[in-house]
Chain A
């Protein structure tokens, strides 16, 4: 018998026919479809009973209440807490993605000591004991050499027990150099200090206002407490509140407003003054308020009437004269009008004269401390412990001038000027900065003039970061003492995001700490104890939790039960009692400090011939630009008109683009006096000719592969411009140039 090709063919045909009559092909097809719909490597939530843990969000200053869905010990979803006064069940995209900050790859899992060069990212794991001992030794040495004042500390928030513990540590150690991360809240606090004579934050009763005039505030782009603002924005639509957005660019807020008034960048204060002019000229002001409760009105009125006639304001702002007059009349004619300021998400402080100008517009209609108006909200000052004695070294150190000049004769209103730190540290005019502690903030990324800031940090011999994440500042550190992330720790959050009542929230652990991390509060208490002497004496608490409980006193019971303490009884002070200025009245001007609401043009860096364009930043709810950077879920949600591939898009008016020969979607080089970056051109009719804009929150060099190397960091393209009055950074933009790449 001969076996040939045909035999094999017969065998194969027989096999195929037989196989078709077995379940094999059909079963395998079915299985492969099940397999491919349930990739075994795709993580799925654990199965089991759901429970909820309650806490507060710390990812922005908004202070949303959160309920975290748990399966056993695993947090599986973050949801907004219903009934919470800030967010009532809502949550933003960043808050929603918080679990990636807990379980994600950017965590620092144990104390780390740098072994390579700064920024190289070579680390050695060390124990907490060794890490704290090293910090104690280094700081102890500086103190022994009477150099305690050369140690600086930067914290994220200004308020609450964690910043207060750092400040206490620095005081008993002997350094005045404690800085906080600035925002428009600082400028508004100063405005209230000058005009009301009180220490308070500006609260806005946005829910009850019936006419909103926003001077560039990103009302639905992160300004204030973002989720509260979403809800307010929805309520305005329903109850017919008119929203007028003054902004050079068609932002989301502008697009959703009832009237968008495009304005020349940086001239918002001039418009506010123009509106004041029309209101005063046409006698549309609240006479009761201005006559009985204000000081310096006549003088200021004269100045405004002389200098801010609508024609002149029109030429400054580029807004039609009639529009200015009409808005002024509408504003004054509304029942509860409210003017808001703080550009974008409010992370940049802006000019004090501008904040005062907008505040004055509110004052003229008498909406100070009224329903639907601006409320001076006292800052909860519970984190005030009894003074302990400063030893001699500490006293000498504390008597030194601050490296940032805050509180000096030049800047008497300022408590902290982070924007001046880099220059101070670089020049070492009075003394060098020998050590830096950083907690709850990422200044190497988020300070305007980021490259200069980085250079200043590189010069500091000893840098300690308390960051939970491997961010740009942590990358420059010698030691990282990682904090628990917010879902693992206790921390009190005094909410300072424009709410109209004093409110304190409690962040509570919903899971056990995942890694070998420590609450920054515990770290600082242990560090103090390791240093001993009068430093240790100032920190008598066993742990941060004990400190928190004792400090919050009767608030603790409420906070640990409800997660929220609200001053229910708080009523804004009446006009008779509200003002603690020298005159006891609302003051339009402060001649001593040569301060008044006015339009102070920004001295833009660079010259107009080299850099013919104006570059502005813009904010998006999908881009976190502060201490926290976008987790993977959020960066995925960024639209491709903002980030295309690895390039940030620069918004250019088609007319400008045409004159420069820049085609849509093509790469280009964006340069400013501070630096240059590769960007992609995006033709956008919503931005005025001659102005270009890029998003903030991109261009990270640290973090993980999802975030690093995408786009450009706006803070590297702009430098701080000092406000003569406040010392804070008043820059809203920078000169720039675009060229084909």
Chain B
């Protein structure tokens, strides 16, 4: 028994005789690579880049209409919010080409003439498990569009829509910053952002119907 132990000991000593690999180096390589992967490559892999069917110019439209955002994004009679206008609303003005832009020409040819709804990509669409209503915010809370949606009304082009390959929702929900940091409300629209404002403004934390707080206010 003792002989065998001696031999084993001898062999292991022999192995460590060569130049020792710097363990710390490998640790640093692993550490650095994962940082590059997590901060740099992962966000690029996670989101696909999509373009709107029509490169919409908000700034131009806002100049032309009388009623600001509400000219197109209005509350319906039943209190629900119209969101992105449907083709019928667009056609109130664009039954024919009325301007000089190529995008408008394309819009009329591809959508108006064949009466095909435009499949707009909605940057701010919350997942279906979230119940969100504009009315309490805009009508009761008297919030301006810009408070949540930022200066979208001033943009002269439709920016790239980044779709989460996993969930199918827009990157705007999590925010451009992959760390989830945001300065303004329109840079991130996660649950914590909702509750942060609700707490700060001391608004009703419970459901209007049940007077109960918690999950069921938004997750019905």
Where the two chains meet, the residues of A that have a C-beta atom closer than 8 Å to any C-beta of B are 1-4, 6-8, 10-19, 21-24, 26-28, 30-32, 34-35, 37-38, 40, 44, 47-50
Contacts and interface: CB of A to CB of B under 8 A. Distances in A.
A70 to B, nearest CB: 13
B30 A15 contact: yes
A36 to B, nearest CB: 10
Contact of A18 (B38, B78, B178): B38
A14 B26 contact: yes
B31 A48 contact: no
Contacts of A21: 35, 38
Given A32-B166, A49-B80, A14 B31 contact: yes
Nearest to A32: B166
- 4 closest cross-chain pairs (CB), A and B: A22-B38, A14-B30, A18-B34, A10-B26
Contacts of B31: 14-15, 17-18
Nearest to B32: A18
A2 B26 CA distance: 12
Interface in B1-28: 18-28
Given A3-B21, A23-B38, A14 B27 contact: yes
Interface string B30-50: 111111011100110010000
Contacts of A32: 166
A47 B84 CA distance: 11
Contacts of A35: 166-167
Question: Is the contact region of chain A dominated by helix, strand, or loop, or is it mixed?
Answer: helix
B128 interface: yes
A611 B178 CA distance: 75
B76 interface: yes
A13 B25 CA distance: 12
B129 A38 contact: yes
B168 A40 contact: yes
16 contacts: A1-B19, A4-B21, A10-B27, A11-B29, A14-B27, A14-B31, A14-B32, A15-B34, A17-B27, A19-B34, A23-B42, A23-B178, A24-B38, A34-B166, A44-B128, A49-B86
Nearest to A42: B128
Given A3-B21, A6-B21, A23-B39, A38 B167 contact: yes
A35 B128 CA distance: 10
B82 A49 contact: yes
Given A3-B21, A38-B127, A22 B39 contact: yes
B76 A19 contact: no
A2 B19 CA distance: 7
Interface of B: 18-35, 37-39, 42-43, 46, 76, 78, 80, 82-83, 86, 127-129, 164, 166-169, 174, 178-180
A22 B34 contact: yes
Contacts of A7: 21, 23, 26
A109 B164 CA distance: 38
A8 B27 CA distance: 9
B38 A19 contact: yes
Given A11-B26, A11-B27, A34 B127 contact: yes
Contact of B30 (A13, A26, A30, A38): A13
A320 to B, nearest CB: 49
A26 B164 CA distance: 15
B34 A37 contact: no
A347 B36 CA distance: 73
Given A15-B33, A34-B166, 16 more contacts: A4-B21, A7-B21, A10-B27, A13-B30, A17-B31, A18-B31, A18-B38, A19-B37, A19-B38, A21-B38, A24-B37, A34-B169, A38-B167, A49-B80, A49-B82, A49-B86
A49 B21 contact: no
B179 A23 contact: yes
A549 B110 CA distance: 41
Nearest to A49: B76
B123 to A, nearest CB: 15
Interface centre among B23, B78, B164, B174 (most CB of A within 10 A): B23
Contacts of B23: 6-7, 10
B28 A37 contact: no
Given A1-B21, A27-B46, A34-B167, A14 B28 contact: yes
Contact of A50 (B32, B80, B128): B80
A16 B35 CA distance: 10
Contacts of B18: 2
A12 B30 contact: yes
A12 B31 CA distance: 8
B212 to A, nearest CB: 20
Contacts of B86: 48-49
Contacts of A1: 19, 21-22
Contacts of B46: 27, 31
A466 to B, nearest CB: 34
Contacts of A28: 166
The CB with the most chain B CB atoms within 10 A, among A17, A19, A34, is that of A34
Contacts of B127: 34, 37-38
Nearest to A19: B34
A633 to B, nearest CB: 19
Contacts of A12: 30
B30 A24 contact: no
B82 A31 contact: no
Given A23-B178, A34-B169, A49-B80, A10 B39 contact: no
Chain A CB count within 10 A is highest, among B26, B32, B78, for B26
Nearest to B78: A50
B193 to A, nearest CB: 13
A50 to B, nearest CB: 6
A2 B86 CA distance: 67
A14 B169 contact: no
Contacts of A22: 34-35, 37-39, 42
Nearest to A37: B129
Contacts of A24: 37-38, 42
Contacts of A8: 26
Nearest to B39: A22
Contacts of B30: 10-18
